[in-house]
Structure 1
Amino acid sequence: MQREMPFFGEVRQMQNAPDDLVKRCRHGLDAIRLCIQLSGHTHDFIREQLNIDKGHFSRIMQGKAWFPDTKRIELMNICGNRAPAQFDALMTGCELVELSKDAKIRELEEQLRALKSAA
């Protein structure tokens, strides 16, 4: 799979989907649909990146076929959000916690951007 390259800007960071939207999901397929919708990518782009047949992807989106478990992480990476993982955590009474190292790096990058814009 081809990833975004930071030649002309920053690579998009993985983000949590808004909690209120995740809570509205009735099942895992809704969380997958939300993930795709929040990405802004077309269904064709997503299915091509995941290497899923057009007909099968259409059946998945209609709820007539199962989304392959082996492609969930790849879907979240392509879409840039964790909606399916957040839904799973919510349904099992858990909470996703970001690794402190990643959070600290993001915090320092934000401080650096603020200092550069103030200068």
Structure 2
Amino acid sequence: MQKELPLLGPVQGITRVPANLVSLCRTSGEAVLLAIRYGQKTQRQVANDIGMEPAQLSRIVSGSAHMPADTAIAFARAVKNWGWQQWVAFSAGMEMVPRVESPEERVARLEQRVRELEFVEAA
């Protein structure tokens, strides 16, 4: 019985799609389809996972509609890869890399945290 519960197994993270595959995509729809196929899911499964009508996802893949930017994270989680986002960066001549906090941002974040703790302590 426990072997049948998928929640008890290891959870894969979101991976990158090989750049050579991303570079073959000519349109956003092709990149969406690449991400879906690379994630080994069906369009219907992905649509259900991200709360989108299957017909709308089909229009996105065919090029008659575009993937809404605010579904990017949910889409990446559903297909378990960054393929579509990589294509967006690639099409702009960029590369998608993890964000790193700058020293200035770190100081500002820590100063804000100190102010919050001082406020809590004073109350």
TM-score (norm. length: structure 1): 0.69
After the TM superposition, which residues 41-52 of structure 1 pair with which residues of structure 2 at under 5 Å, given as runs?
A: 41-52=41-52
Task: Report what 2:121 is aligned to.
Answer: none
Across the aligned residues of Structure 1 and Structure 2, the Cα RMSD in angstroms comes to 2.2
Q: Deviation of residue 7 (structure 1)?
A: 4.3
Q: Give the aligned length.
A: 96
Which protein shows a greater Rg? 2
Provide the C-alpha distance between the structure 2 equivalents of 1:91 and 1:59, rounded to a whole number of angstroms: 20
**Shift in alpha-carbon separation, 1:13–1:60, aligned structure 2, 3 A:** same
Counterpart for residue 40 of structure 1: 40
AA paired with 1:70? D
Question: What is the deviation of 1:59?
Answer: 2.0
Aligned pairs (5 A) from 1:71-110: 71-98=71-98
Inter-CA distance 93–54: structure 2 relative to 1 (3 Å threshold): closer
Deviation (angstroms), 1:82: 0.7
Q: Tell me the percent identity.
A: 26
CA distance in 2, matches of 1:92, 1:61: 20
Contact 2:28 2:63 in 1 (8 A): no
**Aligned residue for 1:11?**
11
1:62 pairs with 2:62: yes
User: Deviations for 1:77-106, whole angstroms, at most 9, x for unmatched residues?
Assistant: 111111112112222222222367xxxxxx
Q: Which runs of 5+ in 1 are unaligned?
A: 101-119
Deviations 1:5-30 (CA, angstroms, capped at 9, x unpaired): 98432111111101110010112111
CA distance in 2, matches of 1:99, 1:70: 18
**C-alpha distance in 1 between matches for 2:11 and 2:53:** 27
Residue type matched to 2:46 in 1? I
One-letter code aligned to 1:29: G
Aligned amino acid, residue 89 of structure 1: A
After TM superposition, which residue ranges in structure 1, 4 or more long, deviate above 6 angstroms? none
Maintained 8 Å contact 2:60/2:67: yes
Counterpart-to-counterpart distance in 2, 1:61 and 1:27: 9
The CA deviation at 1:56 is 2.1
| Counterpart AA for 1:93 | G
